[in-house]
């Protein structure tokens, strides 16, 4: 049984033991692009010259942005492979991790002409959390006030979410709300390999009918032309870095992963409010699906907020066992590895500054 006791440090705070309260008003107020994407625009998106789909996706989203706030046009269905340049009520960016889908989605939010208060941007988890906090009908009413609803990392992890999100988006689109989403999975393949998708085929197909699919191909830009991922940091350097860096936290890996079970994923963003860096000792591979999926959500929130990770133990690229990587959540785990590896590079730079051996 893993212990939840944090490592005691002279100065560093811990994530273990925090119990952030997040009300419905904050959940709505937080529906804006996170700090990592608060300055991105279409002009700052750099398409890979070898991947023409990236340029095409940027251009298509720029055209779609111009339709936000316009009077809705009647159409026969929304997830079409081919749609008029300005007629689709929903766009769905499909592609691998690290191809810039979130950059494009945030750019759409920033550059759409609708007022800031009429645009919502959040992850799939944040929207399901909002429904849980407000209730379905109240969530529909609140979100119907927006001209644009952007959903990053669209994922259906259980049958209940399939029905919930399909119905939510149908209600919003029927009220003329423009929809935009990113995912690593084509809409008609959502849930595949995770639950009996055939039993929910009608809901999945109804959801699929709500968007025009835009494919974005290419390699992971986070590792393009970069050196090998950083090696784990020595434990004494992790402790020293967390001690000396204002706003840093320090926890054992087992303690933190055990603690995440006591905090709802909708609160993981609040969990790291004010945190400048996360120190972890004793990182090891995870083989429990529930533990691993909770960690994925935390990694996403750390990445959104540009919080470096300084860690000892197993290399962060080996966080998930081969058995997990062969399962239905493979793409989600690979995205998490990509993101935490980027954060580990930032963390390694911090650790180097606090390592006397390199002074």
User: Which CATH number goes with the domain that contains 75?
Assistant: 3.40.50.300
| Angle at 16 (CA atoms; ends 36, 1), nearest 5 degrees | 125
Distance CA 316, CA 231 (A): 8
Per-residue confidence (pLDDT) for residue 217, from 0 to 100:
87
Instruction: List the chain pLDDT tens, one digit each, 359 residues.
Output: 444 444 444 456 999 999 998 888 888 999 999 999 999 999 999 998 999 999 999 999 999 999 997 655 444 444 444 443 334 478 888 887 778 899 999 999 999 999 999 999 998 888 888 898 899 999 999 999 999 999 988 775 556 676 777 788 889 988 989 999 887 654 445 444 443 444 445 555 666 677 888 888 887 665 554 446 789 999 999 999 999 999 999 999 999 999 999 998 888 999 999 999 999 999 999 999 999 999 999 999 999 999 999 999 999 888 999 999 888 788 788 889 988 999 999 999 998 877 666 55
In-domain check, residue 233: yes
Residues 138 and 261 in one domain: no
Is residue 14 assigned to a domain? no
Q: Which pLDDT score is estimated for 222?
A: 53
Strands 309-313 and 90-95: unpaired
User: Does residue 5 form part of some domain?
Assistant: no
Nearest to 306 by CA among 280, 265, 277, 337: 277
Domain-embedded: residue 196: yes
Using CA atoms, how far apart are residues 25 and 341, in angstroms rounded to an integer? 33
- 246 in the same domain as 176: no
Same domain? For 180 and 252 the reply is no
Q: No. of H helices and E strands in the chain? A: 13, 8
The pLDDT value given to residue 203: 57
Place of tokens 């316009």: 70
Residue identified by tokens 């995205």 is 335
Same domain, 170 and 127: yes
Residue 55 and residue 190 in one domain: yes
Pairing, β 119-123 against β 248-252: unpaired
Q: Which two tokens stand for residue 20?
A: 């952030």
CB 279 within 8 A of CB 246: no
- Structural domain that includes position 202: 49-218
The pLDDT value recorded for residue 307 is 97
Both 56 and 183 in one domain: the answer is yes
Q: Which of 185, 218, 251 is the last residue of a domain?
A: 218
The count of structural domains within the chain is 2
Is there a domain that residue 305 lies in? Answer: yes
Distance, CA of 261 to CA of 250 (rounded, Å): 18
Same-domain check for residues 268 and 159: no
Is residue 75 domain-shared with residue 195, that is, in the same domain? yes
Looking at the fold, whether 209 and 70 belong to one and the same domain comes out as yes
Among 199, 218, 237, where does a domain finish?
Answer: 218
Query: Does any domain span residue 41?
Result: no
- Please give the DSSP secondary-structure letter assigned to residue 30: T
Residue 326 lies in a domain: yes
- Return the pLDDT at 132: 86
Q: Are residues 102 and 229 in the same domain?
A: no
Residues 240 and 208 in one domain: no
In angstroms, the Cα distances linking 285 to 137, 289, 321, 343 are 41, 12, 6, 18
Shared domain for 212 and 302, answered yes or no, is no
Give the pLDDT score at 331: 78
What is the distance between the alpha carbons of residues 157 and 159, in angstroms, rounded to a whole number? 7
DSSP H or E run through 315: none
Rounded distance between C-alpha atoms, residue 252 and residue 257, angstroms:
9
**331 token code pair:** 């793409």
Of 178, 200, 218, the domain-final residue? 218
């Amino acid at each position: 049984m893993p212990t939840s006791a944090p490592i005691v440090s002279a100065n560093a705070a811990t994530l273990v033991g925090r119990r952030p309260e997040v009300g419905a008003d904050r959940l709505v107020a937080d529906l804006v692009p996170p700090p990592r994407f608060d300055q991105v625009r279409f002009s700052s998106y750099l398409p890979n010259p070898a991947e023409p789909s990236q340029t095409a996706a940027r251009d298509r989203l720029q055209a779609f942005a111009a339709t936000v706030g316009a009077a809705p046009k009647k159409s026969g269905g929304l997830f079409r492979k081919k749609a008029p340049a300005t007629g689709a009520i929903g766009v769905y960016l499909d592609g691998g991790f690290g191809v810039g889908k979130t950059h494009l989605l945030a750019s759409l939010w920033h550059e759409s002409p609708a007022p800031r208060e009429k645009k919502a941007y959040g992850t799939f988890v944040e929207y399901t959390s909002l429904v849980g906090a407000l209730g379905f009908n109240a969530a529909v009413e609140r979100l119907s006030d927006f001209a644009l609803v952007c959903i990053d990392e669209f994922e259906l992890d259980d049958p209940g979410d399939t029905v919930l999100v399909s119905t939510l988006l149908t209600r919003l689109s029927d009220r003329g709300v423009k929809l935009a989403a990113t995912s690593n999975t084509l809409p008609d393949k959502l849930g595949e390999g995770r639950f009996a998708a055939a039993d929910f085929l009608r809901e999945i197909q109804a959801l699929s009918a709500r968007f025009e699919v835009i494919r974005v191909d290419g390699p992971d830009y986070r590792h393009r032309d970069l050196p090998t991922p950083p090696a784990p940091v020595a434990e004494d350097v992790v402790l020293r870095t967390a001690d000396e860096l204002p706003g840093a936290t320090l926890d054992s890996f087992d303690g933190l992963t055990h603690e995440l079970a006591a905090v709802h994923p909708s609160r993981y963003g609040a969990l790291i409010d004010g945190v400048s860096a996360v120190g972890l000792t004793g990182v090891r591979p995870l083989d429990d699906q529930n533990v691993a999926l909770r960690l994925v959500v935390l990694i996403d929130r750390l990445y959104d907020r540009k919080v470096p990770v300084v860690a000892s133990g197993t290399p962060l690229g080996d966080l998930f066992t081969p058995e997990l990587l062969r399962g239905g959540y493979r793409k989600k785990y690979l995205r998490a590895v990509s993101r935490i590896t980027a954060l580990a590079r930032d963390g390694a730079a911090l650790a180097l500054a606090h390592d006397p051996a390199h002074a």
